[in-house]
């Protein structure tokens, strides 16, 4: 590639720093998260416009699949949307993810980040996990920039990318590796403090990936024991500094246990508790969905039906809810099999991306696999797509993961004049 062509592909430092600043602040303000997503979309469009030729690569192929998945999701959603004449203002998630995918396609095919810009992106990601953790410590989950449940899931997405980056830095100096690892720990702590129980699975993902990584490289018991002691010591000190990291999750889990026990004792579902609301809605939805299998009930009728259930159960908390508290059931209840197909399109797209990258970009594949895990599991107990923040951060997390491991320009000389 000629120097002039490479220069036209490299993102300017001032543009990149704007994106990175917005990424760092995204966990503490929903509008800044939206601005980060928009900046990545615009940067992708700008990159696509400037370059004359597009390169084919594993990343480009993976992103093309992601674009197709997002487009399929929107088309499938459009069928019941037109059928019922529902308001398109409720379809933020599909549009945001599709536009974000197009922006990423432009970056993957036409842009080149320098080595330093990739390092800055990694540092910004770690600082973002720390900013989210700091916000939870200072203000608590009640002051989350959006509903605490999708916020916790969004932080878990960033943790998965930070974990992949940490494992990829095995040849880096120890201070750098520790800095990256601190982001994984801080991000996980932020999820625990968010009280979003549906995202607590991030603890198992992090632990499982680390164990698999050690097993794959061959277990050396003395080294493993030494590292385990260091990790336990560091985590112990972290918990000493922030005791709420233990008390808050335990309190939330105990609360769920009490509510489940009360249901088992009474043999009826108490629809005015956190667990009871979910079980009540899931039970009602499972009986209603087969009668409206193809197109669902439509957005308006679905909300009215949930309100009616709340009145019948005399549950004030239930009457304030507008969804089923399960993204799979809610998609079917609202839009039938077309809605479920739309939601599953994102899952299939993420799965294929991870599969496509596993040989050429194994750590990018690992990051996408983590994003897929969080997306699948956190959607079991909440409708994260009902909140703009989550699909915005899902788009950002996928973009950051690909850009972190994408082929760089190989030199920073090109940006010295930017």
What is d(CA 238, CA 183) in angstroms, rounded to the nearest whole number? 13
What is the SS3 assignment for 10?
A: strand
**Whether pLDDT at 413 is above 50:** no
Residue 153 has what pLDDT?
Answer: 97
For residue 10, list its beta bridge partners.
112
What is d(CA 155, CA 159) in angstroms, rounded to the nearest whole number? 6
Q: Kindly indicate the confidence band of residue 222, based on its pLDDT and cuts at 50, 70 and 90.
A: low
Torsion of CA 207, 156, 284, 294, to 10 degrees: -110
For 359, which DSSP code? T
| Average pLDDT, integer, range 210-235 | 70
Residue 104 has what pLDDT?
Answer: 95
Residue in the block written with tokens 């009474």: 266
Among 99, 113, 73, 57, which Cα is nearest to 356's?
57
What is d(CA 43, CA 106) in angstroms, rounded to the nearest whole number? 8
Q: Kindly indicate the confidence band of residue 85, based on its pLDDT and cuts at 50, 70 and 90.
A: confident
Q: Kindly indicate the confidence band of residue 56, based on its pLDDT and cuts at 50, 70 and 90.
A: low
Among 155, 151, 179, which Cα is nearest to 165's?
179
What is d(CA 380, CA 383) in angstroms, rounded to the nearest whole number? 8
Among 232, 126, 240, 231, which Cα is nearest to 183's?
126
What is d(CA 252, CA 193) in angstroms, rounded to the nearest whole number? 10
Residue 234 has what pLDDT?
Answer: 73
What is the SS3 assignment for 171?
A: coil
Q: Give yes or no for a contact between 398 and 125, defined as CB atoms under 8 angstroms apart.
A: no
What is d(CA 284, CA 5) in angstroms, rounded to the nearest whole number? 59
What is d(CA 17, CA 15) in angstroms, rounded to the nearest whole number? 6
Q: Kindly indicate the confidence band of residue 184, based on its pLDDT and cuts at 50, 70 and 90.
A: very high
Greater confidence (316 vs 176) lies with: 176
Residue 221 has what pLDDT?
Answer: 58
pTM of the model: 0.91
Residue 218 has what pLDDT?
Answer: 63
Residue 264 has what pLDDT?
Answer: 62
Other beta carbons less than 10 A from residue 218's beta carbon:
7
**Whether pLDDT at 57 is above 80:** no
What is d(CA 166, CA 65) in angstroms, rounded to the nearest whole number? 26
Residue 403 has what pLDDT?
Answer: 94
**Whether pLDDT at 83 is above 50:** yes
Least confident of 164-173, 240-249, 286-295: 240-249
- The rounded mean pLDDT for the chain is 86
**Whether pLDDT at 266 is above 60:** no
Residue 283 has what pLDDT?
Answer: 87
Burial class of 48 by CB neighbour count within 10 A (0 to 12, 13 to 18, 19+): middle
Percent of the chain whose pLDDT exceeds 70: 88
Residue 410 has what pLDDT?
Answer: 52
Domains of the chain, by residue range, sit at 3-252+322-417
Helix axes 174-193, 148-168, angle to 10 degrees: 160
Percent of the chain whose pLDDT exceeds 90: 54
Q: Which of 106-115, 135-144, 150-159 has the highest mean pLDDT?
A: 150-159
Q: Kindly indicate the confidence band of residue 414, based on its pLDDT and cuts at 50, 70 and 90.
A: very low
Backbone angles phi, psi at 354, to 5 degrees: -60, -40
Greater confidence (228 vs 12) lies with: 12
| Average pLDDT, integer, range 5-27 | 82
Q: Kindly indicate the confidence band of residue 49, based on its pLDDT and cuts at 50, 70 and 90.
A: confident
**Whether pLDDT at 367 is above 90:** yes
Element at 305 (helix H, strand E): helix 299-313
Q: Kindly indicate the confidence band of residue 105, based on its pLDDT and cuts at 50, 70 and 90.
A: very high
Long-range contacts of 357-363 (CB under 8 A, 24+ apart): 357/58, 357/59, 357/62, 357/405, 359/58, 360/57, 360/58, 360/59, 361/58, 361/59, 361/405, 361/406, 363/164, 363/165, 363/167, 363/168, 363/405
What is d(CA 43, CA 26) in angstroms, rounded to the nearest whole number? 17
**Whether pLDDT at 2 is above 70:** no
Burial class of 204 by CB neighbour count within 10 A (0 to 12, 13 to 18, 19+): exposed
Greater confidence (31 vs 223) lies with: 31
Q: Give yes or no for a contact between 302 and 333, defined as CB atoms under 8 angstroms apart.
A: yes
Q: Kindly indicate the confidence band of residue 18, based on its pLDDT and cuts at 50, 70 and 90.
A: very high
**Whether pLDDT at 416 is above 50:** no
């Amino acid at each position: 590639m000629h120097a002039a062509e490479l220069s036209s592909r490299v993102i300017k430092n001032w543009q990149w720093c704007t994106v990175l600043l917005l990424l760092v602040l995204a966990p503490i303000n929903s509008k800044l998260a939206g601005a980060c997503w928009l900046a990545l979309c615009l940067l992708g469009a700008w990159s696509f416009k400037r370059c004359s030729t597009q390169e084919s690569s594993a990343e480009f192929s993976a992103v093309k699949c992601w674009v197709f998945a997002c487009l399929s999701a929107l088309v499938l959603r459009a069928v019941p949307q037109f059928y019922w004449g529902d308001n398109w203002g409720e379809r933020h998630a599909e549009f945001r993810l599709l536009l974000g995918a197009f922006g990423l396609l432009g970056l993957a095919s036409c842009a080149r980040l320098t080595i330093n810009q990739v390092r800055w992106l990694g540092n910004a990601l770690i600082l973002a996990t720390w900013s989210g953790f700091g916000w939870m410590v200072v203000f608590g989950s009640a002051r989350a920039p959006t509903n605490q449940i999708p916020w916790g899931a969004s932080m878990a997405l960033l943790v998965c990318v930070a974990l992949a980056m940490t494992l990829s830095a095995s040849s880096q100096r120890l201070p750098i590796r520790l800095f990256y690892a601190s982001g994984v720990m801080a991000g996980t702590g932020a999820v625990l403090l968010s009280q979003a129980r549906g995202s607590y699975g991030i603890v198992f993902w992090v632990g499982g990936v680390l164990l698999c990584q050690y097993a794959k490289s061959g277990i050396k018991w003395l080294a493993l024991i030494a590292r385990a002691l260091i990790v336990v010591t560091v985590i112990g000190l972290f918990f000493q500094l922030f005791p709420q990291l233990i008390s808050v999750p335990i309190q939330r889990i105990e609360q769920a246990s009490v509510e489940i026990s009360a249901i088992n004792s009474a043999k009826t579902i108490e629809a005015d508790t956190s667990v009871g609301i979910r079980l009540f809605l899931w039970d009602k939805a499972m009986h209603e969905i087969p009668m409206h299998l193809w197109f669902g009930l439509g957005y308006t009728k679905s909300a009215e039906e949930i309100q009616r259930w709340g009145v019948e159960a005399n549950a004030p908390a239930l009457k304030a809810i507008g969804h089923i508290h399960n993204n799979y059931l809610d998609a079917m209840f609202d839009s039938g099999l077309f809605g479920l197909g739309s939601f599953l399109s994102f899952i299939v797209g993420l799965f294929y991306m991870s599969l496509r990258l596993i040989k050429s970009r194994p750590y990018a594949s690992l990051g996408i696999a983590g994003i897929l895990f969080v997306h699948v599991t956190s959607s079991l107990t909440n409708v994260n797509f009902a909140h703009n923040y989550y699909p915005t951060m899902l788009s950002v997390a996928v973009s950051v993961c690909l850009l972190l491991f994408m082929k760089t320009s190989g030199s920073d000389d090109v940006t010295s004049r930017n």
